[in-house]
Amino acid sequence: MENSFHGRTMATLSATGNRKVQAGFEPLVQGFIRAPYNNIDAIKNIAENNNNVVAILVEPVQGEGGVNIPEPDYLNQLREICDQKNWLLMLDEIQTGMARTGEWFAFQHNNIQPDVMTLAKALGNGVPIGACLANEKAGEVLQPGNHGSTFGGNPLMCATASTVIDTIKSENLLTNANEMGSYILNSFKDKLVKLGGVREIRGMGLMIGIELDNECTGLVKLALEQHLLINVTAGNVIRLLPPLIIDQQQADTIVNTVSELVIDSLQKKAAA
């Protein structure tokens, strides 16, 4: 999809829909068709005019693209198209998976099943591990020995991932992601939504984006000076991915600090 990000291996970089990320790594792997995100008509047009497509690769919520949350039935319609065309539905859940959106995986909000799903980062809670899960249909593509990696299946990493899963269960972090995510989102809306210069505040669980009218990458450094780690994606979207264990006091600190930075930035731009 356009504005997507799938990784920095040659194939995933080629699948990524961001020329700035791809620059300098040409020639890219061929065979990818890009469509606008959250645009079912574009997918239907591709389905009608291309006979060589085998799969759709998509993020349930675009992270690097700006915390772009699609229409509620977007994934359902993609699943339907894949079923009709005998395509695989491949979901990149590296940012959205492992309770980030309030479900174990973001696709569960839609009550569908992907054919392939990728995980990483949060699966190891800081320990390097990635996983590619496939159903029987997709799993038939590769046979034992066709593909591998030097450190694949590392016992220590897998033990860590197992502990992460146990901790999410035992500490009820799905519930916390939903409750704290809603609290943070609503708190930001109360403080910022009526301000000129704030385009939209959106989120799903503990994946929150504050979209401004203008570029705001300088806020990353200002937040760091106040001991808060934030990120700005797509140039003008403050992306917040708080830890799953966050409590209300910590949530208030995030909301107050970021709100003050945004208000101060908007006031300075207005006075310039």
> What CATH number does the domain containing 156 carry?
3.40.640.10
Our measurement of the distance from residue 177's CA atom to the centroid of its chain's CA atoms, rounded to an integer in Å, reads 15
Same domain, 179 and 229: yes
Structural domain including 24 reads: 10-170
Same domain, 139 and 220: no
Rounded percentage of the chain residues whose pLDDT exceeds 70: 100
Domain membership of residue 2 (yes or no) is no
| 177 contacts 102 by C-beta, under 8 angstroms | yes
Same domain, 220 and 231: yes
For residue range 125-153, what is the model confidence (pLDDT) as tens digits?
A: 999 999 999 999 999 888 888 888 888 88
> So which residues are the catalytic ones?
5, 92, 121
Same domain, 153 and 242: no
Same domain, 138 and 19: yes
Domain membership of residue 5 (yes or no) is no
Last residue of a domain, one of 135, 170, 205: 170
Burial label, 147 (beta-carbon count in 10 A; 0-12, 13-18, 19+) = exposed
pTM: 0.95
For residue range 3-13, what is the model confidence (pLDDT) as tens digits?
A: 999 999 999 99
Last residue of a domain, one of 145, 170, 195: 170
Domain membership of residue 4 (yes or no) is no
Same domain, 166 and 181: no
Determine if the peptide bond prior to 155 is cis (ω within 30°). Answer: no
What's the pLDDT score for residue 272? 77
Of residues 92, 14, 35, the one with CA closest to residue 60: 92
Same domain, 164 and 193: no
Same domain, 215 and 158: no
Q: Check whether 239 has a pLDDT greater than 90.
A: yes
For residue range 66-118, what is the model confidence (pLDDT) as tens digits?
A: 999 999 999 999 999 999 999 999 999 999 999 999 999 999 999 999 999 99
Same domain, 161 and 177: no
Domain membership of residue 3 (yes or no) is no
Confidence of residue 271 (pLDDT cuts 50, 70, 90): confident
What secondary structure does DSSP assign to 61-75, as a single string?
SBTTTTSB---TTHH
The number of domains in the chain is 2
What's the pLDDT score for residue 60? 99
CATH of the domain at 263: 3.90.1150.10
Last residue of a domain, one of 170, 191, 214: 170
Same domain, 22 and 86: yes
- Look up tokens 């930001």; give the residue: 188
Same domain, 180 and 161: no
Same domain, 231 and 195: yes
What's the pLDDT score for residue 152? 87
Q: What DSSP element (H or E) covers 167?
A: helix 155-170
| 244 contacts 176 by C-beta, under 8 angstroms | yes
